[in-house]
Structure 1
Amino acid sequence: MKRICVECLEEKDEKEFTDFDRGVCNKCLLGGAYKQNVIELAVGHKKHCNHSDCNVSLILLLEMAQKVGIKFNDEEMKIFI
């Protein structure tokens, strides 16, 4: 049986959905969790680190997240700058 994910709007097999959230596919659930972890890591790093290379670290973190397909809105992008 096929279902449509409410996040990515793609039609996928029933097995690509978990019992946790029947409307969102596993890939979107993991992507959302990873995005939240990246944001929390950036906020924590910015708050606790006073080294001159912090901006480089935040830019690298942003680039790595974008390479795996995570998109950030304008408000979220401010965290990395």
Structure 2
Amino acid sequence: METAYVLVKSQVAHEMDVMGELLKIDNVKEARGTFGVYDIFVKVEAKTSKELEDTITKNIRKVKHVISTTTLSVIPEQDKN
């Protein structure tokens, strides 16, 4: 299992819309609103690194009102959850 966390910036006043759309995406396990530079913290899990990459690049980044994303990949050897 591959895991990554994606930090999402959205357009002002569209945070809830973006979060709702993110939660509809396969492989998105969690999405939480945050204060600060990023608006939403997203946990993504997939069977392969390719599937993880596709989820982020073909789905998350294309959600309407998403301005930018930053992906934090988990080191596989340290992912014990």
What TM-score comes out, normalization by structure 2 length?
Answer: 0.38
Counting helix residues as a fraction of each chain, which structure ranks higher?
1
Counting strand residues as a fraction of each chain, which structure ranks higher?
2
Compare relative contact order (CA 8 Å, sep 6+) and give the higher one, 1 or 2. Answer: 2
